[in-house]
Amino acid sequence: MQRTNYLYRITYALMILFFLFGTIFYRQSFLAILLLLLVILPVISVALARHAFEHFDFLLSAPATTVSMPETPIIILTVKNPTFFPFLNCELSFQFQNMYFPSNLKNTIALPMEARKTWALRFPFAVSQPGMLLFSLEDVKLTDFLHLYTFHKNLNKGLQISVLPREMPIAFVPAAMHTESEDSEFYDPAGALSTDIREVKEYIPGDRMQDIHWKLSARMDDLLVKQYERSLDDSLLFLPELYKEEIADTLQTLYAVSMKLIRQKEVFRIAIFHTDVMEFVQAVIHDPEDLMQAFMTLYYQKPYDAPGLARSTYQIVFPLYGSFYHIHGSAIDLTESA
């Protein structure tokens, strides 16, 4: 697609007419030569601009696609001009937004497209709320040397960076968490353990001495620890509310509670409310990787304007629901079984 710059074209046309009248009136050969150059130059200028515009390339990358607050997400824009012609009048439009809070604000930067050069621009962004950040290249415009034509192209390139909440201490003690005594042979902080061994892993500081598999450790000449099956039906269930006015605090509270339980080696569940289909999907959390995946799923859900929508919907969909913890803003409320 191309657009004409009428003011420059009118000015240039008047210049050609001026030299045309001068050539006819004075009958000077050098004026005729200048007139010929004025006629040819627009063709050359537009042709060079078109050639370069077709070969420009813009790439997006990031040192890390997942950061935790207060880290600063960084976008790297790599610009390539493989042609022999430099251009100083190239404009690139982009958007940067949190998917929870979409914005139509478009930013524009002027890029000096140096000849035969590839270079990278770093864009650090300060963020105040967790969520999925979307950096998108909208379009690029290039005007030829004489400013007669502006070429335009939609890029539709994007890069997503997930921003996790900061880890903060939280005073949260689950009610009636354990059904086994701490002196029980198969007691575990996550509760509801069976005697079935799920796997054997290397010992790390903090593992219980009574879980060490002594026979296998002696055979392998290394400390190995038994891990037992857990009953997920008895694990903690958290239901975060994606109410728009409290969503940042809700995510912060959920993350703080989750990291505390992970460090205590708890296994728990997060009920994720898919707002587009009004359904729930439960994510089982064993470690930080599971938690990160759960947050990625949360970040793709649309927030809503009705407070308590997830809780009321859950109680309708599951009329015989068990106890769960309802997280809304900075509050954590225990909802007992129906």
One digit per residue, the tens of pLDDT, for the chain of length 338 reads 445 578 888 888 888 888 888 888 888 788 888 888 989 999 999 999 999 999 999 999 999 999 998 899 999 999 999 999 999 889 999 999 999 988 888 899 999 899 999 999 998 988 888 999 999 999 999 999 999 999 999 998 999 999 999 988 888 888 754 333 333 343 343 444 444 555 677 776 656 666 777 777 777 777 777 765 544 555 789 999 999 999 999 999 999 999 999 998 889 999 999 988 888 999 999 999 999 999 999 999 999 999 999 999 998 888 777 789 999 999 999 987 65
Bridge partners of residue 212, in order along the sequence: 225
Q: Which two tokens stand for residue 336?
A: 């007992």
Q: Which two tokens stand for residue 313?
A: 């919907």
| SS3 (DSSP) at 251 | helix
In the numeric block, the tokens 């002594």 are attached to 214
Bridge partners of residue 332, in order along the sequence: 327
How many CB atoms are closer than 10 A to CB 71?
Answer: 13
Q: Please state whether the predicted TM-score (pTM) of the whole model is above 0.85.
A: no
Q: Class for domain 1-164, per CATH?
A: mainly beta
The alpha helices in the chain, defined as continuous H runs, are 6-26, 29-55, 214-220, 247-263, 288-299, 309-317
The rounded Cα 32 to chain-centroid distance in angstroms is: 60
pLDDT on residue 105: 86
| Annotated domain spans of the chain | 1-164, 193-230, 231-335
In the numeric block, the tokens 């296994």 are attached to 267
Q: Which two tokens stand for residue 63?
A: 């040192």
Q: Which two tokens stand for residue 274?
A: 């898919």
